[in-house]
Amino acid sequence: MSLPKAELHVHIEGTLEPELVMACAQRNSVDLPFRSVEELRARYVFDDLQSFLDLYYLAMDVLQVARDFTEVADGYLARAAAQGVRHAEIFFDPQAHLVRGVPLREVVDGLVASLRTSEQRFGVSTRLIACFLRDKGPQAAEETWEALQPHLEHIDGVGLDSAEVGYPPEDFRGVFERARAAGLHLVAHAGEEGPPAYVWQALDTLGVERVDHGVRSVEDPELVRRLARDRTPLTVCPLSNVRLRTVAALDEHRLPELVDAGVLATINSDDPAYFGGYAGDNFDAVQRDLGFSDAALREFAANSFRASFLPEEQRAAYL
């Protein structure tokens, strides 16, 4: 599906394709518990979010220097552009690299080296969003915020990701307040595996502008009314939800109920190297399995620009 669209929920580390994992492992002399692209791909069967995260954090160990991050981002931008993505708001996980001893400078400089020429090379404008790993707790998030200070000119927003259940958004109130005071945009994963209460907290305690995933909001009619009233966007990732078994099958996904209730939903890829498809593939999949019309897909694409952090005049140019 090459409809022009914005992608608002993609983890750059989740765009690391197996071929690049093996190439980086070789040139950086990183030992991996798999010997080939095929062996790695064979592991892409997940029971839940944690079983995915275990492999996601393991594979990104091959990313050691700026060049590696540049190549990951270049690869993503080329594949996304081929599926109609014109604007991408890209997550990265600073702590996942800092804990391995990779300096933040390598990560940010590497990503920026790709992103700064993305419009000319791929026709894709970009934003960069640094996510805190919620399972490392609020103190570690505060330390990460400090580590990000020298790089803030390149960072447009902060988010919250990794293992969700047991790590409620309200624990991160302090660091989100600091990010807001610094003028950054605020988003958070909530309601992927976690309960609707976590979505309420993301809205009311963190003050996020968008909720990443948010699909479990559908279990709470009051929350659905709130999201619809405020037009708070959800960045839904349908193929991710199937692969991580938050829904049993795509034709059982409750995205249509959210849309019917007036929620501003967008369609995104999350970790496309692992979940079987990029943004356009996710559009195709919801049309095939949920029966969305061409007009409905155009509305999802329009929503992606409405929900983006592009300036108003740029957003309007896409609508």
31 is in an annotated binding site: no
The minimum distance between CB 304 and ligand ADE, in angstroms, equals 18
How does strand 210-213 pair with strand 265-267? unpaired
Active site residue 192: yes
The residue type of 243 is: R
Burial of 170: CB neighbours in 10 Å, binned 0-12, 13-18, 19+ = middle
The minimum distance between CB 232 and Zn ion, in angstroms, equals 17
Tell me how far CA of residue 300 lies from CA of 135, 255, 256, in angstroms.
31, 11, 12
Enter the tokens of residue 17: 């394709």
State whether residue 28 is helix, strand or coil: coil
Residue whose CB is less far from Zn ion, 71 or 270: 270
Q: Residue 47 contacts by C-beta under 8 Å, 6 or more apart in sequence? A: 245
The minimum distance between CB 269 and Zn ion, in angstroms, equals 9
Nearest CA to 53 out of 212, 161, 214, 172 is that of 161
Residue whose CB is less far from Zn ion, 49 or 63: 49
220 is in an annotated binding site: no
Q: Residue 122 contacts by C-beta under 8 Å, 6 or more apart in sequence? A: 77, 78, 80, 81
State whether residue 112 is helix, strand or coil: helix
Output the DSSP codes for 250-270: GGG--HHHHHHTT--EEE--B
9 is in an annotated binding site: yes
Residue whose CB is less far from ligand ADE, 131 or 310: 131
> Which residue in 143, 192, 209, 313 is the catalytic one?
192
The minimum distance between CB 270 and Zn ion, in angstroms, equals 5
- Residue 270 binds Zn ion, judged by CB under 5 A: yes
171 is in an annotated binding site: no
State whether residue 209 is helix, strand or coil: coil
270 is in an annotated binding site: yes
| Residues at the contact surface with ligand ADE, assessed by CB under 6 A | 11, 14, 49, 56, 161-162, 189, 192, 240, 270-271
224, 217 Cβ separation under 8 angstroms: yes
Residues at the interface with Zn ion (CB under 5 A): 270
Residues classed as catalytic: 192
Binding-site residues, in ranges, read: 9, 11, 189, 270-271
